[in-house]
């Protein structure tokens, strides 16, 4: 796993929603050239957006593989540490049903308050599937997806990590094999002792909308 310092040679302007004392828009200068010598970001291809994050596509120049880069606005106090903590949690995990983190780090100069995380690119979320289905998934498929998600959570348990934010939007699906990828460890922290909250977390996931659509 490589941490990184971004090299921003040319930039393009993108807009992300942020909360800042009533100011709801914050402009990020995103690197359109080299993120590292290895990863090249395409700022024109936005995969997703949230309050403080933008997800863009990136290319691995060594393998030619298309990846996703999460660009996090860390202008608020403590947000760099929060973003780094999320990535450090992900570094503890290595499982086929958990999103793989390839590299992470802050930018330089004007980009010093922007944090980057390069991850596998997975096409769409389970939430998209449930919306497209307009209701519960077929039982056989739901059981298969839930078994994969349970395996991912079990791995987190083995590595003493509690995800703490299980929901359809944080479960991605990729490929013809319907493979699950658990994402977004922003609320997760490695506990001091072994985590004992799996049952409660899974019970919540299965009894609260929209996760109950898997039932």
Q: Look at the block and give the residue holding tokens 């049903």.
A: 97
Q: Cα–Cα distances in Å, from 71 out to 158, 159, 164, 175?
A: 29, 26, 22, 24
Helices H / strands E in the chain, number of each:
4, 11
The sign one gets for the Cα dihedral 87, 91, 92, 98 is: positive
Kindly list the distances between the CA atom of residue 23 and the CA atoms of 12, 79, 83, 119, in Å, as whole numbers in the listed order.
22, 17, 21, 30
Tell me the HSE value of 15 on the side-chain side, using a 13 A CA sphere.
4
Rama region for 109: left / alpha / beta (φ>0; ψ in -120 to 50; rest): left
At CA 153, angle to CA 53 and CA 190, rounded to 5?
65
Which residues have a catalytic role annotated?
A: 165
- Order of strands, edge to edge, in the sheet holding 171-174? 124-125, 171-174, 179-182
């Amino acid at each position: 796993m490589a941490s990184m310092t971004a090299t921003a040679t040319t930039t393009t302007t993108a807009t992300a929603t942020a909360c800042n004392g009533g100011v709801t828009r914050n402009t990020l200068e995103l690197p359109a050239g080299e993120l590292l010598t290895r990863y090249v970001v395409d700022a024109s291809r936005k995969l997703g957006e949230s309050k403080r994050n933008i997800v863009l596509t990136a290319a691995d120049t060594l393998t030619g593989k298309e990846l996703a880069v999460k660009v996090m606005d860390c202008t608020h106090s403590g947000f760099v540490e929060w973003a780094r903590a999320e990535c450090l949690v992900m570094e503890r995990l290595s499982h086929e049903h958990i999103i793989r983190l390839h590299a992470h780090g802050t930018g330089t100069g004007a980009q010093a308050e922007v944090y980057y995380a390069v991850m596998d690119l997975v096409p769409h979320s389970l939430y998209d599937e449930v919306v497209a289905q307009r209701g519960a998934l077929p039982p056989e498929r739901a059981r298969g997806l839930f078994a994969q998600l349970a395996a991912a959570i079990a791995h987190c348990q083995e590595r003493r990590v509690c995800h703490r934010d299980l929901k359809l939007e944080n479960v991605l699906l990729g490929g013809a094999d319907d493979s699950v990828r658990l994402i977004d460890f922003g609320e997760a922290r490695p506990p001091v002792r072994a985590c004992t909250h799996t049952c409660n977390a899974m019970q919540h996931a299965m009894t609260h909308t929209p996760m109950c659509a898997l039932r």
